[in-house]
Structure 1
Amino acid sequence: MGEEYLRRTAITRPKLTPEQERLLDETLADWKRACNVASRVGWAADETRRRRLQELTYHGLGEETRLGSEHRILAAHQAAAALSGVKQTEALDEQYETSCPTFTADTMKHDARTMTLFDDETVSLATVDQRVRCELALPDDEDGYQRQYLDDDSWELTESTLTKRDGDYYLHLGFRKPKPTGLAERRDDTEDRTVLGVDLGIVNLAVTSTARFESGRELRHRHEEFERIRGSLQQTGTESAHRVIQRISGREERYTRDVLHRVANGIVDEAVEHDCEYIAFEDLSHIQNRAPPAKQFHEWAHRRLVDYVEYRADALGISVVFVSPAGTSRRCPECGHTDERNRSDRSTFRCVDCGTTGNADYIAAKNVGLRYVRRGLQSSRRTGDGRLALKSGTVKPSRGFTPSD
């Protein structure tokens, strides 16, 4: 059974006294130390199971840190999740050199035992010493988006994250509630499902099988400009230059986030317009941050874009699914012939067998969607035929093209 809950995150800031901030700083330092200790133990023991790693590290974390019992458990689970991700990467691509995960980010997990949210808009957080209780910095009016989760009893508080950024603490409060009745059942019913295929790239940030093109040229240009300015300021090396770097980094983050939200909304709107129950992407879990910086940026942007699509699609009852990326840019969607020569350059596809031509990214988007359609046809639980959404209709692997009404 798939995920049965809608999940949302509300971001706010705790109003801390200097003493409370000091306690959280010490707790955060011990949290990172605990995650790294558990990670090294799990790496040495080749252990990725949460409960087993918890058993292996619980007492040792109590000796090496001042964390309470629940935070030690959460740290072990965090390390287990990171180790499991490394193992999945190894299974997908043996050529990637993996290493023991390390934790350096100023981010710490909280659950119902380490954090309590009160009706008076205050929060209590466990630390290495005593719990701290403080107000939340919420909008004065009742229109702040956080209140739709804080004031609605149908949303249940779940695991949340405390993050320190630019000297300030932020709480990413996690909420969940059951999905609407019948939504989960519809996801399990594969009869006549319609799939939207999406290809992610650099020149075109995203292309759908319905021929929606989202250009990535401006995003790439702005990132290169930010990098050029950052490099010049880093060479200066002054405190003033450092402050400017922080300021422009925040500006780039906001710009990139806005672009990715717009593209994600466009993809989901395309799925809704064409009555798609599924949006298919290439599996990005094999990507590692060992590429050149420019490529790292686009890989990060692709991950963030997929997250945004999942977030919005989930609320509409549309499933986001993933397929293997192998051959999607070289396979002919008409005759099935796969050949490196089919893609002679970045933008052009021409099948050397049947002569089919087209934009290479659009061909790849169709192949991504068709791969998930074929997966359904091969499933023993199949109750109907899947189909790929195109601009003017749908296509089934065995029955060809059907124009829209």
Structure 2
Amino acid sequence: MADTEYCRRTAVTGLSVSPTDATRLRELVEEWKRGCQLAVNEAWGVCHTRSEVQQLAYDRLRDETALGSQHAVLATHRAAEAIKRSRRHDGDRPEFTNPTVAFDTRTMTVFDDRTVSLTTTGERVRCDLDLPADGGYQSRYLDDEDWEPAKSTLHYRDGEFTFHLGFRRPSPAVDPPTEGATVLGVDLGVENLAVTSTARFFDAGELNHRREEFERVRASLEATGTRSAARTLRQAGDRLDRFVRQRLHEVASGIVAEAEEYGCELVAFGQLSEVRELDPDAGPLHEWLFERLLSFVEYRAAERGIAVVEVNPEYTSQRCMECGFTHPQNRDLERRQFECLKCGASAHDDYNAAKNIAFRCVRRGPLSSRGLGAAACALRSGVVTPDDGFTPYAELSEAPKSD
């Protein structure tokens, strides 16, 4: 399971910077880019984890740049992230040209008077946060003691500085599911990023289209080989990353909303470790997408008291939800259709798998030492239990809200 120790938010603010402080911050930006590039050059083809890159490149950054000790550490971590992302996309050695700098609680201090103190290559600078007249949404985090400052990013563009101020708070504890809890099943895939057991489909068409378009652009620009082409390629990659992140947030919000709509105290996913074996079209990029999506669902669900679990997804795409008959030929991969060879029941294959994932969560038994767990899986028109079979919502005391 993904780490859900903290909920995280980002508040984007302007910075009021004096000419002297602006010079110091610009110097920091240039040294940061240089430090990140030195770390990448040192680690490329050698290692890619944060600890490995830090151990390999830290001394060189301290010797050859004006970065302080903690910013040198952060630069090696940023380099490691860039290397991993490039490896994931089968890309070339990263080049750092974006005018951004990472900060953490050792290199920044946020004060109650709406100012922030930042470490530079020389003296620290203290700047006013440029907030809307009414305080804006940023004040929700600045004024709430439950939210504490966390990793943040300074951005410099067109002569102006903005600060992406990070906040975090402990994720709310999620109580074990009550006896008789209902579970929402979620199947992850390539054509549809996610499909729920209540028949909500989150299409991956636009995401896949943009990815394919990026690959075509990359092939063309790499063939050109100019510095301008490399810069254009990095910008295209950044746009793709922003789109992917936004799409994953939208899908995560939709899954949690679906769980709330149908009164589910549990959301069940197939175990991510099995994804590549069970879906031949899923590669390393999709594994990364699924991991990020799961983490986004987890922290949103935790805030609403909904638990997230993973179950073994083996045979969930081959098993008939109606009669239980399991066979590889039940599934037509070309048509994305499931049709049971025994009883003739048919459905979209991802939808059938989502229902089976939910039902497997029910059948696997208690989820806690107190014997509590899922008792029913939510479908669009009713619930299914091992003992009672299908029950329409019209026959239940509580039905989901209408659309």
Same fold (TM over 0.5): yes
Structure 1 residues 347-396: Cα deviation after superposition (integer angstroms, max 9, x where no partner): 21023355432111211211332344445x16572513413211233223
- The answer (yes or no) to whether the contact 1:6–1:177 under 8 Å persists in 2 is yes
Percent identical? 49
- The equivalent position to 1:175 in structure 2, one of 167, 172, 183, is 167
1:60-89 Cα distance to aligned partner (Å, 9 max, x none): 764465443334555677789999x99xxx
User: Structure 1 residues 33 and 362 mapped into 2: Cα distance closer, same or farther (>3 Å)?
Assistant: same
Deviations 1:127-172 (A, max 9, x none): 3433333333433333x22111012233222233446789976543
Distance 1:123 1:348, change over 3 A: same
User: Structure 1 159/40 Cα, relative in aligned 2: closer, same or farther at 3 Å?
Assistant: farther
Asked if structure 1 preserves the Cα contact closer than 8 Å seen for 2:39 and 2:76, the reply is yes
In structure 2, what residue type is equivalent to 1:30? G
Tell me what 2:357 maps to: 368
- Partners of 1:31 and 1:67 within 8 A in 2: no
Q: Which residue of 1 aligns with 2:69?
A: 69
- In the TM superposition, residue 216 of structure 1 has moved relative to its aligned partner by 4.4
SS in 1 for 2:320: coil
Provide the C-alpha distance between the structure 1 equivalents of 2:356 and 2:223, rounded to a whole number of angstroms.
46
- What is the CA–CA distance in structure 2 between the aligned matches of 1:40 and 1:396, rounded to whole Å? 52
State the partner residue of 2:255: 267
Q: 1:130 to 1:300 in 2, by over 3 A?
A: same
Paired residues for 1:223-372 under 5 Å: 261-284=249-272, 305-306=293-294, 308-345=296-333, 346-372=335-361
- SS of residue matched to 2:167: strand
Give me the whole-angstrom Cα distance separating, in 1, the residues matched to 2:157 and 2:266: 36
Superposition deviation, residue 252 in structure 1: 7.5
User: Are residues 1:115 and 2:129 paired?
Assistant: no
Measure how far apart 1:26 and its partner are: 0.5
Aligned length: 378
Deviation, 1:207, is 2.0
Q: Distance in 2 between matches of 1:129 and 1:61?
A: 16
**SS of alignment partner, residue 164 of structure 2:** strand
Note closer, same or farther for the CA distance 1:330–1:130 as it changes in structure 2 (3 Å cut). Answer: farther
Q: Which amino acid aligns with 2:11?
A: A
1:226: how far off? 8.4
Q: Does 2:182 correspond to 1:194? A: yes
Q: Post-superposition shift, 1:287?
A: 8.0
Confirm or deny that 1:396 pairs with 2:395: no
Q: Is the 8 A contact 1:233 1:245 kept in 2?
A: yes
Alpha-carbon RMSD across the aligned residues, in angstroms, is 5.2
Q: In the alignment, what sits opposite 1:20?
A: 25
**Where in structure 2 are the equivalents of 1:38-77 lying within 5 Å?**
62-63=62-63, 66-74=66-74
Equivalent-residue separation in structure 2 for 1:363 and 1:332 (angstroms): 7
Rounded to whole Å, the distance in 2 between the matches of 1:368 and 1:352 is 20
8 A Cα contact 2:42 2:56, kept in partner: no
SS of residue in 1 equivalent to 2:137: coil
1:217 to partner: Cα distance: 4.6
Name stretches of at least 5 consecutive residues in structure 1 with no aligned partner.
Answer: 87-95, 289-293
Structure 2 counterpart of 1:160: 152
* Residue in structure 2 matched with residue 130 of structure 1 by the alignment: 123
User: Does structure 2 conserve the Cα–Cα contact (< 8 Å) formed by 1:8 and 1:175?
Assistant: yes
TM-score (norm 2): 0.69
Deviation at 1:300, TM superposition (A): 7.0
Name the SS for the 1:184 alignment partner: coil
Distance in 1 separating the partners of 2:231 and 2:50: 42
Determine the C-alpha separation between the residues in 2 that align with 1:53 and 1:228. 31
Equivalent-residue separation in structure 2 for 1:328 and 1:29 (angstroms): 50
List per-residue Cα deviations over 1:285-316 (Å, max 9, x = no partner): 7889xxxxx98887776666555544533322
Match for residue 11 of structure 2?
10
5+ residue gaps, structure 2: 277-281, 397-403
| CA distance in structure 1 between the aligned counterparts of 2:225 and 2:57, rounded to whole angstroms | 42
2-side partners of 1:262 and 1:79: how far apart?
28
Name which of 193, 205, 211 aligns with 2:199.
Answer: 211
Cα distance in structure 1, aligned partners of 2:392 and 2:217: 50
Q: How far has the Cα of 1:276 moved from its partner?
A: 1.2
The structure-2 alpha-carbon separation of the partners of 1:71 and 1:226, relative to structure 1 and needing over 3 Å to count, comes to closer
